[in-house]
């Protein structure tokens, strides 16, 4: 499409099985020659246009008889801004500025498709029966709470919970855990041992094993603290505690789950559940367990990180002692 001496068109590229679209603007120089003056992803171009137009209109209305009037700016999130109820579920609108900020943050942690899916659900009332709706609102409220320090968002975040249905509450006994580690072949046995000692997710355990030579390690009273400092998507791991430092190995997380399914051993998620349950039985506070397993909110982490590390160093001694005793006498 030409406008005077400018040409604007959409270019499509396909790389690694994914499709990318770019808005291209070129200047016509004459004699069949053009000079590219802009190349930008279509999604980013749309976001820029939306920001120029005042953002997404989340509260459209019909013109009044006296003629159309501009919509007032959307309010920031607060309990006073709850605007309606649908199916007994309260919901509220937030400013386009905050939604755009959330989208920028989301793109750093998830795919473009996932982030746009979140946005579609944020434009609708919260539906506790819809997993996508609950997840989108929880991600958004958590962003407002932790990144923008919005106290009201922190309060409302605690109330947004999905209806519990078919929740897997199974926690294996110690003999099942010990049997799994005993029967597992390498390199999966090492993965299971890291899971049991640290309480990490399988993705984080595999990351630790693949980068153990690069991560900072501290020798403590009979065990090690490893600075994992990893954030993948919306899940995080701060530190990992290990009885012994493992050798570097490369293992794909999915291969661990497939191996467990093929051999009938415990799935990695059950080891993580066992660790949290056993730590609680040993009197380790929930605050410490959440920190060790990467569930501490940013707001708490920023203010109390050093304190949490110090407490975890002390509290993990109980679990380390228990593990050593039960590895010697598994029954």
My answer on whether 258 and 117 are in the same domain is: no
Confidence band (pLDDT; 50, 70, 90) for 322?
A: very high
Please state the rounded mean pLDDT for residues 2-11: 68
Q: How many Cα atoms sit within 13 Å of 226 on the Cβ side?
A: 25
Please state the rounded mean pLDDT for residues 174-197: 96
Q: Where are the alpha helices (DSSP H) in the chain?
A: 42-52, 96-107, 112-122, 131-146, 151-157, 174-183, 188-198, 202-211, 253-263, 268-281, 286-292, 298-328
Which range, 45-59, 125-139, 310-324, has the best average confidence (pLDDT)?
310-324
pLDDT value at residue 162: 66
My answer on whether 179 and 145 are in the same domain is: no
My answer on whether 131 and 262 are in the same domain is: no
The beta-carbon contacts of 170-178 under 8 Å, at least 24 apart in sequence, are 170/270, 170/273, 171/270, 171/273, 171/274, 171/277, 172/266, 172/270, 172/271, 172/273, 172/274, 174/274, 174/278, 174/326, 174/330, 175/330, 175/331, 176/266, 177/266, 177/271, 177/274, 178/326, 178/330
My answer on whether 36 and 94 are in the same domain is: no
Cβ within 8 Å of residue 305, ≥6 positions away: 238
My answer on whether 144 and 258 are in the same domain is: no
On whether residue 60 sits in a domain, the answer given is: no
255 vs 110: CA distance, rounded Å: 22
My answer on whether 106 and 250 are in the same domain is: no
pLDDT value at residue 184: 96
Higher per-residue pLDDT: 252 or 3: 252
60 vs 80: CA distance, rounded Å: 20
On whether residue 62 sits in a domain, the answer given is: no
Give percent of the chain above pLDDT 70: 78
The model's pTM is: 0.57
Confidence band (pLDDT; 50, 70, 90) for 172?
A: very high
Q: At what angle do helices 253-263 and 202-211 cross, to 10 degrees?
A: 120
pLDDT value at residue 87: 38
141 vs 18: CA distance, rounded Å: 30
Q: Are strands 235-242 and 82-86 parallel, antiparallel or unpaired?
A: unpaired
On whether residue 300 sits in a domain, the answer given is: yes
My answer on whether 300 and 263 are in the same domain is: yes
On whether residue 162 sits in a domain, the answer given is: no
pLDDT value at residue 317: 96
Q: Are strands 89-92 and 82-86 parallel, antiparallel or unpaired?
A: antiparallel
241 vs 220: CA distance, rounded Å: 10
Nearest to 142 by CA among 299, 4, 6: 299
On whether residue 228 sits in a domain, the answer given is: yes
| Total domains present in the chain | 3
pLDDT value at residue 25: 78
pLDDT for 214 beyond 80: yes
Place of tokens 């109390």: 304
Max distance between CA atoms of the chain, in angstroms, equals: 86
My answer on whether 150 and 182 are in the same domain is: no
Tens digit of each residue's pLDDT (9 = 90 or more) over 254-268 = 999 999 999 999 999
What is the span of the domain harbouring residue 15? 2-52
- The total number of residues written for the chain in this structure: 331
My answer on whether 134 and 272 are in the same domain is: no
264 vs 126: CA distance, rounded Å: 39
Q: H or E element: which one contains 91?
A: strand 89-92
312 vs 221: CA distance, rounded Å: 12
Judge contact between 20 and 41, C-beta under 8 A: yes
My answer on whether 198 and 321 are in the same domain is: yes
My answer on whether 35 and 119 are in the same domain is: no
Mean per-residue pLDDT over the chain, rounded: 80
On whether residue 163 sits in a domain, the answer given is: no
């Amino acid at each position: 499409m030409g406008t005077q001496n400018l040409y604007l068109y959409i270019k499509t590229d396909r790389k690694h099985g994914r499709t990318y679209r770019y808005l291209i603007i070129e200047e016509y120089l004459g004699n069949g020659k053009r000079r590219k003056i802009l190349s930008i992803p279509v999604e980013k171009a749309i976001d820029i246009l939306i920001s120029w137009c005042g953002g997404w209109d989340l509260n459209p209305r019909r013109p009044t008889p006296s003629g159309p009037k501009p919509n007032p700016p959307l309010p920031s999130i607060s309990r006073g801004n709850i605007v309606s109820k649908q199916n007994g579920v309260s919901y509220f609108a937030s400013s386009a500025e905050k939604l755009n900020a959330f989208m920028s943050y989301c793109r750093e942690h998830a795919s473009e498709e996932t982030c746009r899916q979140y946005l579609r659900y944020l434009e609708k009332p919260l539906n506790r029966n819809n997993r996508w709706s609950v997840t989108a609102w929880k991600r958004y409220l958590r962003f407002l709470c932790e990144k923008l320090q919005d106290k009201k968002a922190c309060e409302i975040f605690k109330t947004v919970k999905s209806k519990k249905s078919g929740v897997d509450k199974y926690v294996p006994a110690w003999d099942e855990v010990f049997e799994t580690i005993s029967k597992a072949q390498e390199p999966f046995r090492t993965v299971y041992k890291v899971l049991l000692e640290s309480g990490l997710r399988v993705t984080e355990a595999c990351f630790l094993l693949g980068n153990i030579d690069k991560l900072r390690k501290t020798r403590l009273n009979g065990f090690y603290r490893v600075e994992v400092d990893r954030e993948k998507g919306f899940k995080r791991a701060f530190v990992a505690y290990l009885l012994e430092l493992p050798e570097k190995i490369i293992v794909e997380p999915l291969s661990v789950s497939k191996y467990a399914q093929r051999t009938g051993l415990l799935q990695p998620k059950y080891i993580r559940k066992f660790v949290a349950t056993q730590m609680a039985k040993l009197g380790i506070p929930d605050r410490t367990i959440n920190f060790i397993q990467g569930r501490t909110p940013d707001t708490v982490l920023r203010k109390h990180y050093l304190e949490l590390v110090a407490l975890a160093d002390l509290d993990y001694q109980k679990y380390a002692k228990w593990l050593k005793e039960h590895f010697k006498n598994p029954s």
